[in-house]
Amino acid sequence: MATKKEDVKKTSPKKKVQKKGAKIIKNTEEDKTLGILCYLGILFIIPLLLKPKSKFIKFHAKQGIILTIGWFVGLLLYAFFGLGFFVHIAIVVLSIIGIMNVLEGREKDLPIVGDLANKFNL
C-alpha cells in the first residue's frame, strides 16, 4: 500500500513571468495616481515634489520630462511642413503606453524616451 506522501503529486510553484526590461513593483494607489501625472506634460513636477525619494516616481518622471521636452520641440517643428504634428502624435502614443505601465506597476523604458531618460539622474 502506498503512503499518503507518495499519492500526493508534487507540483512546482508557479513562476512569475516578466517581460524583458520590465520591473514590476507593488505600489500604492497614490503612487499610481502620481505616476500618471508624470505623463501629462508639465504636471511631472507635482509627483517629484510630493514623493522625491520614490524610485517608481523618479523613473516615470524622467520619462515624462523627456516627453514634455519633445512636445516643445514638436511646437518648433510645425514651421517645417507640419512635422510637429507627427511628433505630437508619437508623444501622445508614448504617454498612453507610459500610463499603462504605471497602472500595471511596471518600470519599463519607453522606446527612445527610456534611453534618453536613463542618461540623467534626479
Q: What is the pLDDT of residue 20?
A: 53
47-94: pLDDT as tens digits: 999 999 999 999 999 999 999 999 999 999 888 778 899 999 999 999
Asked whether residue 4 carries a pLDDT value surpassing 80, the answer given is no
Helix, strand, coil shares, percent, the chain, to 5: 60, 5, 35
Q: What is the pTM of this model?
A: 0.76
pLDDT digits (tens, 9 = 90+) for 10-58: 443 433 444 455 666 677 889 999 999 999 999 999 999 999 999 999 9
**SS3 label, residue 85:** helix
Compute how many other C-beta atoms are within 10 angstroms of the C-beta atom of residue 41. 15
